[in-house]
Amino acid sequence: MPGEHRVEAPTHEPICKTVEMHTGGEPVRIIVSGFPEIKGETILEQRRYVKEHLDHYRKCVLHEPRGHFDMFCALLVKPTVEQADLAVIFMHNDGYITMCGHVVISLARYAVDHGLVKNITSPETKVNIQCPCGLVTAYVAFDGKKAGAVRFISVPAFVYRTDIEVDVPRFGKLKVDISYGGAFYAFISADKVGLDLKSSKIRDIADAADEVSAAIKRQVKIEMAGNKDLSYLSGTILTDGNDSINGRTSSHVCVFGDRQVDRSPCGSGVTARVALQHHKQLIQLNQTKSFQSCRTKAIFTGKPVKPVSIGQRQGVRVEISGKGFYCGSSTFTLEQDDLIGRGFLL
């Protein structure tokens, strides 16, 4: 038409394609394609390579404007062990974690729905997921048409130390427990830092937990025998203090990374807490307990199912159950001159 002015479409470089899910309200952004080649003979080497050479991709996909402060991503990588159906690197706002149960729950359902498992069976399909902490076996309910709820068996979980006294500047001397469920977490009742999980602001909870984590990192050396990649504190979990043996539902909040708040009950955190309660004889083998997010009200169940030895330590394998849901899919792009679009956090 006369006078028509055509604007040339801007060129933009594809970053990646994702499938969006959530488990108990906690995001699961599964990166299914578009990520650069990752080098490494083991999954821990692959995780280290991404951290050292491709961290700008994590920031671009997780941070604003595509994500947010509490976004969580699962990067699918090539398995390096024969038994695995798929392998995953977990990414959060401040870096990488060795285990994430809420991702395993959604990812196991995704694997069945998208044919990543060779042998799909009813009423359950077995999915082996290689995580940085080790091989995790999930069982996905399947009715012949649709995948549903998921349970998974953890890597060996154990108590690292109990009643550790740490000096936290704002709160003074506190006693915490540290337990491992694929990653190390500290546990303390919220009332010990003057908070109530039901009524306190979530940022007050996050700040307090982060201060406890910072103090532990300064004062307590955490070591996983023979593996430096696993030898660090992932975060602090503030509980409602309900550790009684009667099996009532208990609430807690997991704060990890850079004050990132888990909306779900946190699968690896529940694993570590079940191991801690079993160690304290508050839960018996094959006894199920429910753990609830104090904000979304989502529930994961956990139970110790098998005693194991980890070097000189005694621990358990824990079964965690929950359900993941689909939210959509995304194709992310980046224009070459978009410096802000490379990722930022407020």
User: Is 100 one of the annotated active-site residues of the chain?
Assistant: yes
Are residues 105 and 23 in contact, defined by beta-carbon separation less than 8 angstroms?
yes
Which of 16, 60, 73, 100 does the annotation list as catalytic?
100
Active site residues: 100
